[in-house]
Amino acid sequence: MFKQIVSLFTIFFISFISCSQEYFIHKDNLDSVIRMNIKNYNIPGVAVGIVVGNQLAYELSYGFADKNEKTPVSKKTGFQLASVSKPILAMLTLKLYEQGHIDLYAPINTYIPNINIPKSRIPITLNHLLSHSSGLPKEPVNRIDIEGSSVPKAYTEKELLEGLSRTELLYEPGLGYNYSTLGMHLVGYVLETITEKKLEDLMKSDLFEKLEMANTYAINKPNDLYEATHYWKTDNAESPRDRWEIGEIWGGGGLTSNVEEMAKFISLQFQIRNTGNNLIAPELIQLSHKPVVNLDSNLNGFVGLGWFIKKEDFGYKIYHTGGADGHSAYVSALPNEGIGLVVLANKGGVADEVGEELESTIYEYVDKLRGDLRKSYFENDWPSMEKTTEKLLGLNSNNLIARYFLGKSQFKLKKYEEAKINLTSAYENNTFKDFPLYYLASMSAKDGDNVKAERLLERAVNLGFTDGDELLEDENMHALKNTDAYKKLARWGHHH
């Protein structure tokens, strides 16, 4: 009989006082999804964390870290992250980029000139490696698995260099997509070479210590971390599985962590606006979430720097999966709304199944608000847009898309002082630069500062603003009729 151990930090709901509303995450809905997956996939133990803002707001732990010892899973139980290590490696790379140690767009031969990198017309860069667009194959050509299993043996620096010397690219860098753990291994090696530090030490000093992730590690296991036993289905019976042993080269999948600490890394993804206390520049977090390579012809799925990205109405989702045979991991987040999910299990190939089903419940409220925003946008319902965006900002004040549309609705409602604040924030944080500039120009014209209005309008047009109808219907802008920027933009309007 499966024994369940559940820890709930929030029983029935999470309340957001800032917007005088309650955001409900129903325990029964989550519990039923997790129970169903535990039964369907015969999962020994699983830990789930729901992240809201900078908090692990809701945590559930089921089953056993070790079935024989009857050790329960908790938020502190360690699980190998496998490929969920990749977005963490990408964040470290961006931190070193911010510090001036590396250039994302320089050929990696700049940093490792004596290494036999596969030849190509276009030089491989860190940007290519982090976005799986380098053309490298998925695994090293000289990967060796433990006899009788698919668990890889520890990979050494010598093996990495030897393997690269006889690796051929699948395509020219930047011209395609191929998921590559080898590419991420190479990123880790480049960072070690540049800094003359071990990758684990770099992660500790630049990320883990600052995020208070003391029990996240690759090689040097903390004394107080209990790591779950690995299980795999063999001949219809659950059997312990060998742990992935981490060698000198592990950037593509070597970390171990727990729900409590991964929640802190997910919270970092919400810092997409300058707060004055950022661990890493917001524009670099935004850069990691920016599509580099598309995954499908519908242009809904993309790869960023270390993340997979799904575009959604008025927002986007980042996510990654990880599988280490007897452990599996899944993380996802809605960075604009400040909500995320961590699922860790001590069975291979199941965390993503649990996570993807949980998302429909966890993100349901956000989906409703996005639908309301979409409806108000197409119906020009400015009072509803204002109300909806205030609710979205109640979830995460860093939601730059919501802040822009709040500013737009306030502009349309002639709440100019509030509009100036929100549109200026949206512009300064790299969101819809042309539209905020246009509305700021209009308000400057209304205030009688035509010189400033003309300058802002010129910048908006230069950045791609082409809504001539908006201009022609805007009484504030009539004072600029004789300017070149006005005349250029008016040609796009159907009333002209």
Q: What is the pLDDT of residues 95-111, one digit of tens each?
A: 999 999 999 999 999 99
Residue with tokens 């119906």: 379
Q: What is the CATH number of the domain that holds 107?
A: 3.40.710.10
* pLDDT at residue 372, rounded to an integer: 95
String of DSSP letters for 220-249: S--TTPPBPPPEEEETTEEEE-PPPPP-S-
* Mean pLDDT calculated for residue range 75-96: 97
Question: Is pLDDT above 50 for 326?
Answer: yes
Global pTM reads 0.88
Last residue in a domain, options 340, 355, 384: 340
Helix, strand or coil for residue 496? coil
Average pLDDT, the chain: 88
Helix/strand/coil (H/E/C) assignment for every residue in 253-294: CCCEECHHHHHHHHHHCCCCCCCCCCCCCHHHHHHHCCCCEE
* Mean pLDDT calculated for residue range 358-362: 90
* pLDDT at residue 296, rounded to an integer: 77
Give, in degrees to the nearest 5, the angle at Cα 315 between 312 and 320.
Answer: 75
Pair (389, 246) in one structural domain: no
345 assigned to some structural domain: no
Pair (189, 331) in one structural domain: yes
How many CB atoms neighbour CB 284 within 10 A? 19
Question: For residue 85, what pLDDT band results from cuts at 50, 70 and 90?
Answer: very high
* pLDDT at residue 314, rounded to an integer: 84
Write out the two tokens for 255. 């970390």
Q: What is the CA radius of gyration of the chain?
A: 25
362 assigned to some structural domain: no
468 assigned to some structural domain: yes
Question: Is pLDDT above 60 for 491?
Answer: yes
At 8, the amino acid letter reads: L
Which is nearest to 343 in space by CA: 408, 288, 266, 404?
266
Write out the two tokens for 23. 């955001």
At 53, the amino acid letter reads: G
Residue with tokens 């720097």: 305
Last residue in a domain, options 325, 340, 355: 340
Pair (289, 382) in one structural domain: no
The gap from C-alpha 171 to its chain's centroid, in whole angstroms, comes to 26
Residue with tokens 């850069």: 287
Pair (176, 291) in one structural domain: yes
Instruction: Tell me which residue range forms the domain holding 114.
Output: 75-340
Pair (315, 393) in one structural domain: no
Decide which of 280 and 53 is more confident: 280
Do the beta carbons of residue 154 and residue 132 sit within 8 Å? no
* pLDDT at residue 21, rounded to an integer: 35
* Mean pLDDT calculated for residue range 394-414: 92
43 assigned to some structural domain: no
* pLDDT at residue 12, rounded to an integer: 29
How many CB atoms neighbour CB 122 within 10 A? 15
Pair (248, 213) in one structural domain: yes
* pLDDT at residue 236, rounded to an integer: 52
Alpha carbon distance 448, 284 (integer Å): 37
Pair (321, 393) in one structural domain: no
349 assigned to some structural domain: no
H or E, element range at 92: helix 85-98
Q: 393: Cβ–Cβ under 8 A, 6 or more apart, which residues? A: 19, 399, 402, 403, 406
18 assigned to some structural domain: no
- Distances in Å between the Cα of 336 and the Cα atoms of 18, 257, 329 are 16, 25, 23
Pair (266, 412) in one structural domain: no
24 assigned to some structural domain: no
Pair (421, 468) in one structural domain: yes
| Greatest CA separation for the chain | 82
Question: For residue 300, what pLDDT band results from cuts at 50, 70 and 90?
Answer: confident
Q: Buried b vs exposed e over 14-27: b needs ≥16 C-beta within 10 Å?
A: bebeeeeeebebeb
Pair (403, 482) in one structural domain: yes
Pair (277, 388) in one structural domain: no
Question: Is pLDDT above 80 for 299?
Answer: no
Pair (412, 315) in one structural domain: no
Percent share of the chain, pLDDT over 90? 68
Q: What is the CATH number of the domain that holds 445?
A: 1.25.40.10
9 assigned to some structural domain: no
Last residue in a domain, options 340, 355, 381: 340
Digit-coded pLDDT (tens) for 193-228: 999 999 999 999 999 999 999 999 998 888 878 999
Tally of domains within the chain = 2
